[in-house]
Structure 1
Amino acid sequence: MNGSGAGRGIAAALGFALVLGADGAAAQRAELAGWARLQADTFTSGPPSGQFDGQGVRAAAPRFPSQPVQGFSGIQFGPACGVFWSTGDNGYGNRANSPDFLLRIHRLVPEFQTARGGSGRLRGDGFVPLADPDARVAFLLVREFAGDRLLTGGDLDPESMVAAPDGTFWLGDEFGPFLLHFGADGRLLAAPIAFPNGAAGTVRSPQNPAVAANGTAPGAVSAANLGASRGVEGMARMPESGRLLALLEGTVTGDPAGRLRLYTFDPARGTFGDTVRFYPLDSPAHAIGDMAAVNEREFLVIERDGAQGDSARFKRVFRIDLSRADADGVVAKELVADLLDTANPHRLGGFGLTYRMPYLTIENLLVMDSRTLLVMNDNNYPATGGRGRDVKDATEMILIRLPRPLALARGVGRPAGCADPLAGVRR
């Protein structure tokens, strides 16, 4: 989706590059303003893990001595300035190989490298363990009889998160898919909440406990109506109403290909809104990575292809507008940043004049201020291929400066009183 030859020539003459949005409109490139990295082999306390393969077969010994600090799939401002909450996903790729992976919300502290210097180090600073001590979950847990009822990647797959003003957390799961409400201490506060599907009942993935328990008779159609690993990949809090906006990663059976449902949920009432809108993928083969609020009607969405490394072609941030939807409920969409074509004039991270984020999955997005976004990949530990075929994927957290400001609602962006990590950097 590059501009025409004439458009590129004009852009070069003016000293900036152009890319085209979903509507064909030209946009200037975003710029890399901050970079930090967490090395792939980073671990924290907890039991050994990685002992099971994709079929659930147990090996003689675990691959890892404890729990990895990796697989981040949602990010929010943390409990102190310069600290971020990020949820780990289900672990090593699927339910069968992740029963020894403990679900946690991690505290991350970046020391960004900017034009003024900086270490470029990203480090973990503890975590909140997720557990169900009050037996809110109706199905059998992996650690049902362990005494702690800690939640694992064999139970749930959190892929998105919202840190609520009251200190609690809302997580979006893919196995149900479910909405999950946790206390500040990681205690599950209510039973998992299923997503409605009109007269058809609820949205169900193949990993949904009801689907998995009943199975499918030979030759019968599966009771699942959503693909595996296609649940609540994006979620954000609407800043004025306090409602949650949840975005599925896959198309529900019966919906047009390449259209993803956007649900609203009222935490105060515990009810979903009557109107379901749709996010339009550029290609049905694409997926979304995360979502962040700009204001009550505008949100940012990461959309990506299924490739990585030199093969990656599409890792982009779009702005959608809920108030601009067509007769079918499909929302308008506009390009904001191309994560494979970000200007890097200060060669941050040791990269050249163009920064590429070519990882398979990029699942963390946060609005820092009207011109700055925080983006971070999910490295799918211990996967390889993003920065080289045989290189273990690290976690990279970046700050990108947008060429045009966003119309932020009050309360969106860096918390009041917290310093700008780009303070003193020429913009």
Structure 2
Amino acid sequence: MKLTCVRLTALLALALSSAQAATLVGYAELKADTFAAGPASGAWNAGLRGEARFPSQPVQGFSGVQRDPSGQGFLFLSDNGFGARNNSADYLLRLHRVALTPATTARRAGQVSVGSFIELRDPDRKVPWQIVNEASPERRLTGADFDVEGFAIAPDGTLWVGDEFGPYLLHFSADGRLLEAPIGTPNLAGLPTLRGQSPVVVAHRGSSGTRPEHTLEAYRIAIEAGADFIEPDLVVTRDGVLVARHEPVIAVLSADGRVTEATADVATRPEFKDRARVKKLDGKDVYGYWAEDFTLAELKTLRAVERLPQLRGRAYDGRFEIPTLAEIIALVRDVEARTGRKVGLYPETKHPTFVTQAAGMNISQLLIDTLKKENFTDPARVFIQSFEVGNLKELRTRIMPAAGVNLPLVQLISSPDEAPYDWTAAGDKRTYGALTSDVALKEIAGYAAGVGPYKRWIIDDQGRTTDFVSRAHDAGLLVHPWTFRNEPTYLLPDYQNDPEAEMRQALRAGVDGFFTDFPATGARVVGQYTVPEVRSPQHHAYAQGVSSGAANLPGSGGFEGLNLSPDGQGLYALLEKTVAGDLPGQLRLMRFDLGRRQWTLAGRYALEPAGEAIGDLAPVNDHEYLVLERDNASGEAAKHKRVYLFNLREKNPDGTFKKTLIADLMNLRDPQKLAPSTTGGVFSFPYVTIENLLVLDARTILVANDNNFPATGGRGREVRDVSEFLWIGLDAPLKFAAGAGHRSAVRK
């Protein structure tokens, strides 16, 4: 580079004297058809091999830039080839040494000189899967093996390269030899659960959205769908057996005898027509058929029916029995024996005060007795829940200690207009809201392990996330809200009939699990956060047919931005696209500790509404970085090509990094007309991908495009895209740390 920083700064000061935008202070370009020595290339098209289109290896497009440690110019990383994996098996991955001399006046053209290259290869067979040049001694890597995007030079002189196919980190020697196996990307979703554990999916009454609730079939479907726990609501029979029903009343009748709600076909059975009666359920008169008025043998003659037929139909009415708790445990054990999968139980003691008054039985005692008899008392596989308070305290202080068991309890919290009935029966006027204060949550933690709030305590009726989860976590309580359903009638308008969006919002709020009528949906959403790795569709496990798990990162969404931290101790790697389950437009910034070989989630970067991807990441100092942000358009359609500054230490209320626009690449001042495309003193940079960013000094950044060789469209539909190099002067100086981005050149 011939132009000194002193002269660039002087030119910049002159150019910025009255400027309101970033200014082009230097320019150069490299013609599209620039080739380096190597074998012929371009023979592949959609996976089929034909005649080579090019006699050697194209130099472009460029997807990453660093200063050359030799002090002579720059190193540019070539992209993965001819636009797709199945077109690029003969494109060799390289870093090219490039000398740049910018045009600083209209009378002087910029110069670009391409010198030697570093070829990326795997002669020591570190890649554990088959590559294109598998059998050759040098095993030169191609664009069909990896999609290399960003790179950094470590203090020891070795090269670290970010890949999009995995996404992987690739570690090379200074001369391009792969030093270790590709390093995958862990799925560090960063969900703020109580102990960092994976959230659980609780099948609410089984898979009750697809089968009649509280039937063995509903539980079986739920387990197959991936539920971690199945929930039986428990009521008692006349002979003291616990069975699964939503309420003690198994069919509710109107005053004239019409069925208004039912979970069993009892109202159709003439032999039981005289069993209907009025009882006070939690202080309200209810007319219907009651479980405690039937023996188990009588209930076994009944069949389950859909409780919400207007919503879910009657296709399965009359097929399934009413199961006992013992039968549900037997089902869980059978699944475990056949599959090895350990599913838990999440029983609810329904209306303990009512059961004591109407049937003279202690439902909490019956539950513990049954669990002990069935030898199902593993505290990792049972939660006991109740809407009342007294029976949970009795379980904690008397019933469980006497039985020698210690199971986690969950205090259910209904809507603010309702109250625990044991409070109401005792004359206490408080409602469930009294259980949501910080003081109350700490009191609950004295007898329970968690709370099960109505979901509007977590996400209000305007769709806003509250502080309930964080306050409950501060008290040491797990949070398992209810109930998440797929039907539009249960969704807020902003979700646009997408039940997964509601579940994702709850997970981002930090819930430790949730109840859902559709456990298949719940398991899919939780799975997006809990699969071990972030994987694109081009991951080798899919390309070579060794994995059946779904990709959770869009294609070409990997480590587009990668750079060394200024202290030389870690790499910051920014994904180009959003991982499944994260908020749209939020990108994960990962940090890889070079000494510990350990990944952490550094935070999330939020794209602007017009932004669709990022192009590069460059350090300014130990806590500030620049990001190239772009849309997916080129030419006249291009609108959003920008450089932002963000701060690792400053975040927005939603947890994303705060950022500041420092250069709009579609609107750069060029008063000297350094670039041939400048019109009216304004320079625009309308390429689809702009993937090279480097801080030169406090006032100047270097930006260059990836020309997606041999693409057209940036400067005209029929114009072959060139590589353009921009020296951009900034209005305000960056807090640039000397050596940031090229620490290896100093310390090597």
2:109 is the alignment partner of 1:119:
yes
Structure 1 counterpart of 2:532: 201
Structure 2 counterpart of 1:147: 137
Structure 2 counterpart of 1:318: 644
Structure 2 counterpart of 1:269: 596
Partner letter of residue 540 of structure 2? P
Structure 1 counterpart of 2:727: 399
Deviation at 1:179, TM superposition (A): 0.5
Deviation at 1:309, TM superposition (A): 1.1
SS in structure 2 at match of 1:310 = helix
Which consecutive segments of 4 or more residues in structure 1 shift more than 2 A? 14-17, 79-82, 115-119, 211-217, 326-329, 349-352, 412-418
Post-superposition Cα deviations, 1:23-63, rounded to whole Å, max 9, x if no partner, equal xxxxx31111111110000111000100111x21112x111
Identity, % of aligned positions: 49
Structure 2 counterpart of 1:101: 91
| 8 Å Cα contact 1:359/1:386 also seen in 2 | yes
Distance 2:25 2:741 in 1: 16
SS in structure 2 at match of 1:210 = helix
| 8 Å Cα contact 2:630/2:642 also seen in 1 | yes
What pairs with 1:43-192 in structure 2 (closer than 5 Å)? 43-53=35-45, 55-59=46-50, 61-115=51-105, 118-192=108-182
Structure 1 counterpart of 2:573: 246
| 8 Å Cα contact 1:171/1:179 also seen in 2 | yes
Structure 2 counterpart of 1:378: 706
Structure 2 counterpart of 1:367: 695
Structure 1 counterpart of 2:622: 296
Deviation at 1:268, TM superposition (A): 1.4
Deviation at 1:123, TM superposition (A): 2.2
Structure 2 counterpart of 1:36: 28
Deviation at 1:185, TM superposition (A): 0.8
Distance 2:76 2:95 in 1: 6
SS in structure 2 at match of 1:361 = coil
Distance 1:178 1:138 in 2: 13
Distance 1:104 1:98 in 2: 13
* CA pair 38-57 structure 1, distance change in 2 beyond 3 A: same
Partner letter of residue 713 of structure 2? G
Post-superposition Cα deviations, 1:322-380, rounded to whole Å, max 9, x if no partner, equal 10124653111110101111110111023331111111110000000000000000000
* CA pair 239-194 structure 1, distance change in 2 beyond 3 A: same
Partner letter of residue 141 of structure 2? L
Distance 1:297 1:44 in 2: 38
> Given the two structures, how large is their TM-score scaled by the length of structure 1?
0.87
| 8 Å Cα contact 1:258/1:284 also seen in 2 | no
Task: Say which one has the larger Rg.
Answer: 2
Distance 2:73 2:63 in 1: 16
Structure 1 counterpart of 2:564: 237
Partner letter of residue 261 of structure 1? R
SS in structure 2 at match of 1:96 = helix
Of Structure 1 and Structure 2, which has the larger fraction of its residues in strand?
1
Q: Structure 2, unaligned stretches of length 5 or more?
A: 1-15, 189-529
| 8 Å Cα contact 2:564/2:741 also seen in 1 | no
Aligned length, in residue pairs: 388
Partner letter of residue 78 of structure 1? D
Of Structure 1 and Structure 2, which has the larger fraction of its residues in helix?
2
Residue among 346, 350, 354 paired with 2:682: 354
Residue among 263, 279, 295 paired with 2:605: 279
* CA pair 285-324 structure 1, distance change in 2 beyond 3 A: closer
Partner letter of residue 383 of structure 1? A
Distance 1:394 1:246 in 2: 27
Deviation at 1:81, TM superposition (A): 3.3
Distance 1:365 1:185 in 2: 23
> Given the two structures, how large is their TM-score scaled by the length of structure 2?
0.50
| 8 Å Cα contact 1:16/1:29 also seen in 2 | no
Taking only aligned residues, the RMSD between alpha carbons, in angstroms, comes to: 2.1
Partner letter of residue 737 of structure 2? A
Deviation at 1:134, TM superposition (A): 0.7
| 8 Å Cα contact 1:369/1:414 also seen in 2 | no
| 8 Å Cα contact 1:309/1:388 also seen in 2 | yes
Deviation at 1:242, TM superposition (A): 2.4
| 8 Å Cα contact 1:77/1:414 also seen in 2 | yes
